[in-house]
Amino acid sequence: MIETLPDIALPTLAPFDAIIDVRSPAEFAEDHIPGAINLPVLSNEERAEVGTIYVQDSRFRARRIGAAHVARNVARHLETALADRDAKFRPLLYCWRGGMRSNAMATILLQIGWRAGVLAGGYKTWRRAVVAALFDDPSAIDLVLIDGETGAAKTEILRRMATLGVQTIDLEGLAAHKGSVFGADMARPQPSQKMFESLLFNELRRFDAATPIVVEAESSKIGRLNIPKRFWMSMRAAPRLTIRADAAARAAYSVRNYADFIQAPGEVDRAIERLRPFHPKETIDEMLALSAAGSHAALAEKLMRDHYDPLYQRSQARRETKSVGVVALENLDSDDLSRAARAAAALIAASSRR
């Protein structure tokens, strides 16, 4: 008998060895439960074919052809992705919502002897939970923001705080973007908006709601992705811990931190051109000249002085949220960043006890 799982609560997922998304690769690419593996029972083309026959020709014929595709694809998965699973393997399967595709594969796995489960409502159950948590819930999330001027190594400090046991969410890591016109990740594209929301929800649901979660201060968009409404409203009201460092140290760190972007042909100049609506022609031309000369530290300092620092100062003038404290950096080397992470963690812990 197929075990039907009614929801995606963490304790109910714990007994399963793997979460298998049996939808087509295109459906999986748009969004899926984080950590799931994609073992489609119908390819993109097969799904389109069966759907067309179902609507335009015969439901019986569509089901017969679909069943043949499913049988062949499940056989292939058994001979490849699932070939090394032992007799105790316990997978959880899901499809879009109706359960036809997931139940078809689960039935075969049960015949092998594996205790296969199916998520009731499929992906739609997961998506409803994401929307409820990130958009519908009116309560505030207990957040603390790591704030500071561009180049102050806020993301790296956040990551080091995580190793100290602090609850943190790396929004830029989830979004695959550093949050500026120079922030594109050269190694991976940004996820879809729905996938970003799934990743964020998956982080949130693992944490203790009674303990603050530390995130980096961001605008409402990271690259092309929007921060979900509930999370963004919580960020706007959250207390802030400020990281400070002088412009020269921040410029040197930025050159190191953006090395992959700098090395990508033409990317720096394209990013500078996107700033043209905000600055006089002479300023943009000077930036382009520094880029052409390979003077990246000088370019980074000019960008901070003329663009990023003024933006930060204007945003600070509009903020009325509580300050948790200030951590000053010296040279932004590894020891300096570890010290800052410890100091930030101590200040946040002290603030939460008050």
First to last CA, the chain: 53
3-class state of residue 280 by DSSP: coil
- Phi, then psi, of 187 in degrees rounded to 5: -90, -20
Residue type, 315: S
- Which residues, including other chains, have CB under 8 Å from residue 219's CB and lie 6 or more apart? 179
Distances (CA, A) of 48 to 12, 62, 63: 33, 11, 13
- Which residues, including other chains, have CB under 8 Å from residue 133's CB and lie 6 or more apart? 201, 204, 205, 230
Determine contact, residues 141/211, Cβ cutoff 8 Å: no
Of 95, 176, 262, 304, the active-site residue reads: 95
Both structure tokens of 63: 């089901």
How many C-beta atoms lie closer than 10 Å to residue 161's C-beta? 20
Determine whether 95 is an active site residue.
yes
Strand partners, 146: 216, 241
Q: Which of 230, 36, 225 is nearest to 123 (CA)?
A: 36
Active-site residues, by number, are: 95
